[in-house]
């Protein structure tokens, strides 16, 4: 049989798989690997959510097909949350849809709206699905550098001038994964004006909106006047509610885009298991009563502080992020000067320090001088990681051999 799969040919090898392969081999050999690579929350889902899930699972009525758009009461709970948190009115019928996490929702939205050859503007570095959902849909991606010391919005305008055909959509994510960059409301105000002037849709991934620290509050794209005219916002319950395995997300905003996603999903799925949706309703509606998100924020803040402090003592100074469950660390200069970039450095960390991280190049070539740490190990393990890293980066004999 001829394997003539054009879409698959456009997808590069998954960089993270190379590090994961080495990690698994090391564990087979008995090595104790501290895994700060994949952003897979290790905290249990709050008890009040699990109790509702169990109860709903025992009801035979919930064992049947659901609806691809998501239960109305869940869409209503999402709308209520947006009103409480952001002062934004959302119509649960025409402006909200439940998705199986953000990756599914974003990918299917791109399949619905991207025609072959359409161009999307996407930051670089970025979470891989932001770019490759466009590729899978048959579109083309124009990368916009999101790097320290540069005006990102200026880079957006430069990309627009240099791109033909004109971009159809821009996909963004603030607070940002992997760089942890944050924005203020005025950024979205400029973005809405920019999108209207250039007849462009905006897709905003707001997965880390709840995980903010030190007084910073992440704005919603939809808070800006006119935002619903040009775009939608996605949110996931994976992180701030520690519901990663539940695969619950949603999109809210522009009616045309929500309808397009709803139509394509009606052909592809019947929605997620209904008890999961019922548990998600309770998660959103009773969050304030149980302080679930507030406790999750404190949980990640403590880990962030310990990682930054202990790594500094180890000789690696990293900027403290204001949001997300990640830390974006620039590779120590002595390694960069020796030509060691993120993939090789990640392999060295794994081999010599017994610490697994995500190489920055896996998020785009502009991330190649960085590695990403996920705050998914407990405080003791993070301190253990810092000791291994200290031994590695300060080992003069080893370094002289490497370079």
Residue 323: φ, ψ to 5°: -165, 170
* Total length of the chain: 403
3-state helix, strand, coil in the chain (%, to 5): 50, 15, 35
DSSP H helical segments within 59-218, as ranges? 72-86, 101-113, 128-136, 152-161, 185-197
pLDDT in tens, 117-167: 999 999 999 999 999 999 999 999 999 999 988 999 999 999 998 888 999
Beta-carbon contacts of 116 under 8 Å, excluding residues fewer than 6 positions away, are 138, 139
Q: Rounded to an integer, what distance in angstroms lies between the CA atom of residue 276 and that of residue 57?
A: 8
Strand partners, 329: 371
Q: Residue with structure tokens 């990681």? A: 385
> Which regions of the chain are under pLDDT 70?
1-2, 13, 15, 396-403
Return the pLDDT at 9: 80
| Residues 121 and 156 sit within 8 Å (Cβ to Cβ) | yes
E strand spans, 198-323:
201-205, 231-236, 249-253
Give the pLDDT confidence of 82-102 residue by residue, as tens digits: 999 999 999 999 999 999 999
Nearest residue to 269 via CA among 53, 8, 70? 70
For residues 222 and 76, what is the distance between their CA atoms, to the nearest angstrom?
17
d(CA 209, CA 78) in angstroms, rounded, equals 14
Pair 241, 279: CB distance under 8 Å: no
Query: What is the CA angle 311-312-316, rounded to 5?
Result: 75
pTM above 0.85, yes or no: yes
Percent of the chain with pLDDT over 70: 96
């Amino acid at each position: 049989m001829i394997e003539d799969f054009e879409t698959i040919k456009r997808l590069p090898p998954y960089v993270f798989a190379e590090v994961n392969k080495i990690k698994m081999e090391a564990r087979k050999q008995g090595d104790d690997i501290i895994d700060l690579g994949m952003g897979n929350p290790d905290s249990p889902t709050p008890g009040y959510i699990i109790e509702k899930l169990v109860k709903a699972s025992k009801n035979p009525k919930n064992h049947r097909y659901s609806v691809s758009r998501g239960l109305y009461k869940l869409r209503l709970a999402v709308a209520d949350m947006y009103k409480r948190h952001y002062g934004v009115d959302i119509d649960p019928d025409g402006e909200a849809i439940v998705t199986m996490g953000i990756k599914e929702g974003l990918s299917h939205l791109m399949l619905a709206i991207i025609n072959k050859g359409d161009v999307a503007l996407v930051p670089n570095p970025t979470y891989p699905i932001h770019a490759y959902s466009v590729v899978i849909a048959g579109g083309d991606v124009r990368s916009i550098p999101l790097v320290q010391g540069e005006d990102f919005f200026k880079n957006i305008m430069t990309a627009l001038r240099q791109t033909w055909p004109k971009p159809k959509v821009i996909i963004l994510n603030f607070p940002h994964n992997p760089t942890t960059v944050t924005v203020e409301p005025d950024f979205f105000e400029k973005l809405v004006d920019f999108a209207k002037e250039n007849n462009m849709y905006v897709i905003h991934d707001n997965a880390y909106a709840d995980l903010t620290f030190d007084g910073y509050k992440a704005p919603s794209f939809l808070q800006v006047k006119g935002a619903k005219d040009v775009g939608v916002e996605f949110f996931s319950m994976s992180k701030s509610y520690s519901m990663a395995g539940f695969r619950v997300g949603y999109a809210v905003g522009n009616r045309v885009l929500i309808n397009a996603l709803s139509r394509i999903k009606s052909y592809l799925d019947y929605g997620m298991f209904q008890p999961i949706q019922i548990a998600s309703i309770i998660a959103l509606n009773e969050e304030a009563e149980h302080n679930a998100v507030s406790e999750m924020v404190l949980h990640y803040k403590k880990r962030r502080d310990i990682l930054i402090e202990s790594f500094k003592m180890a000789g690696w100074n990293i900027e403290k992020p204001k949001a997300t469950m990640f830390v974006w660390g620039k590779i120590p200069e002595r390694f960069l000067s020796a030509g060691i970039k993120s993939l090789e450095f990640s392999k060295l960390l794994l081999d010599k320090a017994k610490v697994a991280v995500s190489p920055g190049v896996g998020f785009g070539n502009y991330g190649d001088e960085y590695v990403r740490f996920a705050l998914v190990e407990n405080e003791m393990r993070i301190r253990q990681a810092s000791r291994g890293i200290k031994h590695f980066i300060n080992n003069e004999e080893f370094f002289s051999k490497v370079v």
